[in-house]
Amino acid sequence: MHGRGPEALFIYSDELLSYHFHDDHPFNQLRLKLTLTLLQALELIHDTQIIPPQEATEGDLLRVHDPLYIENVKRMSEIGTTSANDLQYGIGTEDVPPFPGMHKAASLIAGGARLGAEEVMKQAERHVVFLGGGLHHAFRGKASGFCIYNDAAVAISYLLDTYDLKVLYIDTDAHHGDGVQWIFYDEPRVMTVSLHETGKYLFPGTGHIYERGEGKGYGTKINVPLEPFTEDDSFQHVFEQVLVPAFERFRPDVVVSQNGADAHRFDPLTHLSLSMRSYRFIPKLVHELTHAYAGGRWLALGGGGYDIWRVVPRAWTYLFAEANHNPLTDRDIPPSWRDQWKEKSPVELPTRLLDPPFLPIPRRKEINEKNEVTLNRVLSFFQHT
């Protein structure tokens, strides 16, 4: 490995796969193993870079979650079932069905993110990748959208409480990063920037431009709702135009990114239309700006991603390679990786890291124009606050 910084850390253990609702649920952490084995097949990581997550302590969880909620998650976790009364905690829904051991599994994710935050602070220019995390929909007292504990918020609140830092949270998941936004809605030390498919058509329905924070936190919450079928060029343009002034104005001490990979054209749950080109671009821009403005302190989390065979491993390979100062352009997917997984995969596995060119979306011009209008509205706030 070479480059300008130390090697990136990769937080992982097979135990993370215990966050498993049931076999037909779209959230499938097997994608972590698919990614790690792809990184290994490409010889981009060695064992000394991999450290296991630790379970969050009660104190870690209490920074973010209501004690009553934690208590009830523990209860449901023991029996693995819920009653109608538990719907107030968001558990027992189609999205978040209960499963035995869910408290421990979710705590391991929250603790992994907290460990990542701790590691990032050990030295300047430190990058840590924890793809098990990024469960951005969980609220203080309620599970939502496949998320039980909000590991991103646990990591951020650890940084606030321990070091009194300014944290820039960058969320490029196709869904709005609502949980993180609402948990820190009045917190001026946390800026959240979320690019997502507009809530008009997609869960969780929030992430409007006018959600800008409240009280002392007013102006530190930035939302960019994009049109369905948005493609690479428009996405990347909007992302860069928003992110540069966000860094310039906020001057964060540390960056936490949520790297959901569900805005890809193949993703079955959303309608954005990115290709792997954007999953190469996103971490590259975050990385450059983090060095330029935030002392290179960068914790990269995972997030959504429901085409676990064709999309997520490649997207997160680009992310890790970038964080590890070994950025990739394009590469053949090693046949050994394809052989390892082809029997389990219901689809043909990709042969290259980048996608072949997709046919253009028919309404491209209109979509790009609408995104440009949204972008200009968001940028106008920078001038007025």
Cβ atoms of 218 and 191 within 8 Å: the answer is: no
The pairing of strands 298-301 and 221-226 is unpaired
Smallest distance from Zn ion to CB 259, Å:
11
Our finding on whether 179 is near Zn ion (CB under 5 A) is no
Q: Which of 137, 175, 287, 291 is catalytic?
A: 137
Pick the piece of the chain touching Zn ion (CB under 5 A) from 60-68, 171-179, 237-245, 339-347: 171-179
Smallest distance from Zn ion to CB 150, Å:
14
Instruction: Give 159 or 294: the residue with its C-beta nearer to Zn ion.
Output: 294
Instruction: Give 3 or 52: the residue with its C-beta nearer to Zn ion.
Output: 3
Check residue 102 and give left, alpha or beta (phi > 0: left; psi -120 to 50: alpha). Answer: alpha
Smallest distance from Zn ion to CB 203, Å:
8
Our finding on whether 322 is near Zn ion (CB under 5 A) is no
The pairing of strands 50-51 and 167-171 is unpaired
Distance, CA of 246 to CA of 220 (rounded, Å): 9
Instruction: Give 217 or 304: the residue with its C-beta nearer to Zn ion.
Output: 304
Smallest distance from Zn ion to CB 174, Å:
5
What's the per-residue H, E or C state across 219-278?
CCEEEEEECCCCCHHHHHHHHHHHHHHHHHHHCCCEEEEECCCCCECCCCCCCCCECHHH
Binding letters toward Zn ion, positions 29-68, x by CB under 5 A: ----------------------------------------
Instruction: Give 76 or 226: the residue with its C-beta nearer to Zn ion.
Output: 226
Smallest distance from Zn ion to CB 313, Å:
17
Pick the piece of the chain touching Zn ion (CB under 5 A) from 39-47, 182-190, 198-206, 299-307: 299-307
Q: Which two tokens mark 27? A: 């959230």
State the burial class of residue 239 (Cβ atoms within 10 Å of its Cβ: 0-12, 13-18, 19+): buried
State the burial class of residue 101 (Cβ atoms within 10 Å of its Cβ: 0-12, 13-18, 19+): middle
Our finding on whether 175 is near Zn ion (CB under 5 A) is yes
Cβ atoms of 27 and 136 within 8 Å: the answer is: no
Binding letters toward Zn ion, positions 236-275, x by CB under 5 A: ------------------------x-x-------------
Q: Which two tokens mark 31? A: 């994608």
Smallest distance from Zn ion to CB 325, Å:
6
β-sheet bridge partners, residue 229 = none
Smallest distance from Zn ion to CB 317, Å:
17
Instruction: Give 142 or 175: the residue with its C-beta nearer to Zn ion.
Output: 175
Instruction: Give 217 or 283: the residue with its C-beta nearer to Zn ion.
Output: 283
Distance, CA of 97 to CA of 310 (rounded, Å): 26
Distance, CA of 126 to CA of 94 (rounded, Å): 39
Check residue 288 and give left, alpha or beta (phi > 0: left; psi -120 to 50: alpha). Answer: alpha
Instruction: Give 107 or 270: the residue with its C-beta nearer to Zn ion.
Output: 270
Instruction: Give 12 or 146: the residue with its C-beta nearer to Zn ion.
Output: 146
Smallest distance from Zn ion to CB 135, Å:
10
Pick the piece of the chain touching Zn ion (CB under 5 A) from 67-75, 174-182, 229-237, 348-356: 174-182
Which of 53, 92, 252, 304 contacts Zn ion by CB under 5 A? 304
Our finding on whether 207 is near Zn ion (CB under 5 A) is no
β-sheet bridge partners, residue 225 = 196
**Count of residues of this chain found to bind Zn ion when the rule CB under 5 A is applied:** 7
Distance, CA of 39 to CA of 317 (rounded, Å): 6
Our finding on whether 166 is near Zn ion (CB under 5 A) is no
List of residues 6+ apart from 138 with CB closer than 8 A: 65, 144, 147, 148, 149, 150, 153, 179
Cβ atoms of 320 and 312 within 8 Å: the answer is: no
Our finding on whether 5 is near Zn ion (CB under 5 A) is yes
Our finding on whether 173 is near Zn ion (CB under 5 A) is yes
Is 137 tagged catalytic?
yes
Residue ranges that bind Zn ion, judged by CB under 5 A: 5, 173-175, 260, 262, 304
Catalytic residues, by residue number, are 137
